[in-house]
Amino acid sequence: MDGAEPLGRLHRHQGGRRPERGDGRDRPGRGDRAGRVGDRVPQVGPGIGDTREIEIKATEISGDISAETVNGGITLLQIESANTEANTVNGDITYDGTIKDAGRYRFSTHDGDLRISVPEKANVSVSVSTFNGDFNACFPVKLTGKTKHRFSFTIGSGSARLEVESFDGDIKLCRPGQVSKNESDKEEE
């Protein structure tokens, strides 16, 4: 990894379990690596693997989380966090975890879909932005602020903040478990 630029990164700021990248197995020559929080995803030489497509997957993580990659999806499942941020330029983002009171959650992709879980008893102010995509929720929402490509709504007291943004992708909010089920269905295709 000497001098290699990281193409993907997962940070945990306190307590928790191991993340997985790709399928979680070390498969030399394919660009997938098992890893620990904070590991750098190295660039690999020609003929070894296409590392421009780095998928980050983390399951059963607790604590503050920041995940980023340039060209690949981010999947965060069974997350227990008060502060989570996930960003990718080209890839889908899936989050199935807690929305804690006074927590901060931000998910952004330029070209990809977002699937985010919102627990039924969450207290959250939600801001949605999509230029060329659709928004759907598996539960009723009452829009408050609305412009051509951005709108917001509040669930409960609104003490937590959730920002979801995709320039060219769909945004779907569902209940916990519904997002994970949709992710499993997508992997089987």
Angle at CA of residue 18, ends 11 and 49, nearest 5°: 80
Residue pLDDT, tens place only, 102-149: 999 999 999 999 999 999 999 999 999 999 999 999 999 998 878 888
| Average pLDDT value for residue range 63-80 | 92
pLDDT tops 70 at residue 185: no
pLDDT at position 121 is 93
Spatial distance between the Cα atoms of 78 and 72, rounded to a whole number of angstroms: 20
pLDDT at position 135 is 93
Residue pLDDT, tens place only, 33-65: 444 444 444 433 332 333 356 888 989 888 999
pLDDT tops 70 at residue 17: no
pLDDT at position 181 is 58
User: 52 in a domain, yes or no?
Assistant: no
- % of the chain residues with pLDDT over 90: 52
Domain of 96? 59-188
* Residue 145 DSSP one-character state: S
User: 25 in a domain, yes or no?
Assistant: no
Question: How many structural domains are present in the chain?
Answer: 1
| Average pLDDT value for residue range 81-109 | 96
pLDDT at position 53 is 66
pLDDT at position 180 is 64
User: 38 in a domain, yes or no?
Assistant: no
Angle at CA of residue 177, ends 21 and 113, nearest 5°: 60
pLDDT at position 172 is 96
Spatial distance between the Cα atoms of 25 and 142, rounded to a whole number of angstroms: 43
User: 169 in a domain, yes or no?
Assistant: yes
- Helix (H) or strand (E) holding 187, with range, is helix 178-188
| Average pLDDT value for residue range 152-174 | 96
User: 24 in a domain, yes or no?
Assistant: no
- Tell me how crowded residue 68 is: count the other CB atoms within 10 A of its CB: 19
Is the whole model's pTM more than 0.85, yes or no? Answer: no
User: 98 in a domain, yes or no?
Assistant: yes
- Least confident range from 54-58, 92-96, 98-102, 149-153: namely 54-58
User: 64 in a domain, yes or no?
Assistant: yes
